[in-house]
Amino acid sequence: MEICVFGAGSLGTLVGGILARENEVTLVGREPHVGAVAKSGVQITGEITETVRPAAVTTPPEAADLAVVTVKSFDTPAAARELAECSLGGVLSLQNGMGNEATLAGELDCPVLAGTCTYGARLAAPGTVECTGVGGITLGPAAGGHSRLADRVGEIFRESGLETAVSTAMPAKLWEKLAVNAGINATTALARIPNGAVLDGSVHEIAKKAAHEAARVGRTAGHDLSGDRVVDRTFEVAAATAANTSSMQQDVLAERRTEIDAINGYVVDNAERPVLVNETLTALVRAWERERGLR
């Protein structure tokens, strides 16, 4: 399969690199990273160790069977406009936050799949990505149900070595992922702690309440989300990625804009009654961004 990975940062490079074992992959990203990949390939280190040689460019190719989108949520509109110039058989979003699939579908004349991913990744240097944790990918039609494209993409991912499941209930899966991220990301970013630190101590209740609030908002939106189950899932993810630095904390440490609007901010914007923990986390991260001219 010809696959374009649009947004070759840490996760995009790791997923694209693994897919390049069995497919023709083009990573679309920024210099100096794509230049290093074009010259020497992708060096994968950490829990997966190998060198793969996908193509690497700064603009998307004219055509691909599948585009895997891994840009930050606030860059989704720009990504959709660029990909609209390509001939695509389908698109898969592996992004954080909510609303990405609708944005892509509004610009693109092809099926859009939704996905969640719990692989841990960190760009160690241009051309080098560290796999900080082997997780899994769940994907399926953004609106739920079955599709041949989802089944085919799931098969391709598994054949390449990615732990992948195909789901008919992606709207609920996306809300579950949102709740997990709401509990972990802003909490760890503000406290400058690894994911595992939310398992106990003073921030445990903050993460728990943030995830519980998000599940409640998801239920109001019509999805089958048990608050207790979502909280359990949050701490399962935290335990499995205990040594990891969350993506939002990576952004804070690098003084980059975060995805707070599409995670905790999305919970706040869609709540019918107060979600005090998410409101507080959102306000604090947004204040940090404003102080640095990032908003």
CB atoms within 10 A of CB 119: 22
Look-up of token digits 């990573």: 27
Annotated catalytic residue 177 = yes
Residue 48, helix vs strand vs coil: coil
Give the type of residue at 146: H
Distance of CA 126 to the CA centre of its chain: 20
Cis peptide before 126 (omega within 30 of 0): no
In 7-119, beta strands by DSSP E: 24-28, 42-46, 50-52, 55-57, 63-64, 66-69, 87-88, 91-93, 112-117
φ, ψ of residue 174 in degrees (nearest 5): -65, -40
Catalytic residue among 173, 177, 208, 209: 177
Beta bridge partners of 138: 116, 165
Q: Active-site residue numbers?
A: 177
